[in-house]
Amino acid sequence: MIDPDGFRPNVGIVLMHEDGRVFWARRVRRDGWQFPQGGINSDETPLEAMYRELHEETGLQPAHVEVLGATPGWLRYRLPPHAIRRRDRLVCIGQKQVWYLLRFKGSDADLRLDLTDTPEFDGWRWVDFWYPLEHVVTFKRSVYGRALGHLAPLARTIAGAQAVPEPAMAVAPLRPGQVRRR
């Protein structure tokens, strides 16, 4: 399903441990890391899609998480030119996403990346809340910054201000080609 502007509806999932660290997963057969995310089927609400994607990509059930909040409306990002599939009748130029912040209530043993025939991820770890901004593929940095920026106040209510500090210049998303100076 692609909207008239060329964006595919999608959900993004920030799965947060009680201590403020977030679930960070490595794509199968790639060196890219990201949050779980996936498309919304035409017969699903974003919340239903989030629970389906959560289970498909992490093995978690609704009982393993608590929904803390979501971004209001759609956050969009464009795909780089080489990733746009032009052979399809409807050209997808990017994704429009609703991002969910989930509190992880399970144990690490509940995380299963191999429950489907085609797993999305082959590895995972817990990372600091703002870590993904500098480690996700460049074209997703802006949407990650907007999603995490919106969800951070909710995360602070669980993990505290030290675990999820106010964003500062040190965690601002980098523009393509920009180098972080410390």
- Domain map of the chain by residue range? 7-159
Residue 172 has pLDDT above 70, yes or no: no
d(CA 149, CA 159): 15
- Residue 173 is given by DSSP the state P
d(CA 65, CA 16): 9
Q: Average pLDDT, stretch 141-147?
A: 96
Q: Which residues contact 168 (CB under 8 A, 6 or more apart)?
A: none
Rounded percentage of the chain residues whose pLDDT exceeds 90: 77
β-bridge partners, 65: 104
User: What pLDDT score does 180 carry?
Assistant: 47
User: What pLDDT score does 81 carry?
Assistant: 82
Q: Average pLDDT, stretch 1-28?
A: 95
Q: Average pLDDT, stretch 155-163?
A: 96
Domain 7-159: give its CATH code: 3.90.79.10
pTM of the predicted model over 0.85: yes
Q: Average pLDDT, stretch 101-130?
A: 96
User: What pLDDT score does 181 carry?
Assistant: 44
Residue 24 φ then ψ, to 5°: -130, 125
Q: pLDDT digits over 89-103, tens only?
A: 667 899 999 999 999
User: What pLDDT score does 108 carry?
Assistant: 97
Rounded percentage of the chain residues whose pLDDT exceeds 70: 88
User: What pLDDT score does 124 carry?
Assistant: 97
Residue 86 has pLDDT above 80, yes or no: no
Q: Are 155 and 16 in contact (CB under 8 A)?
A: yes
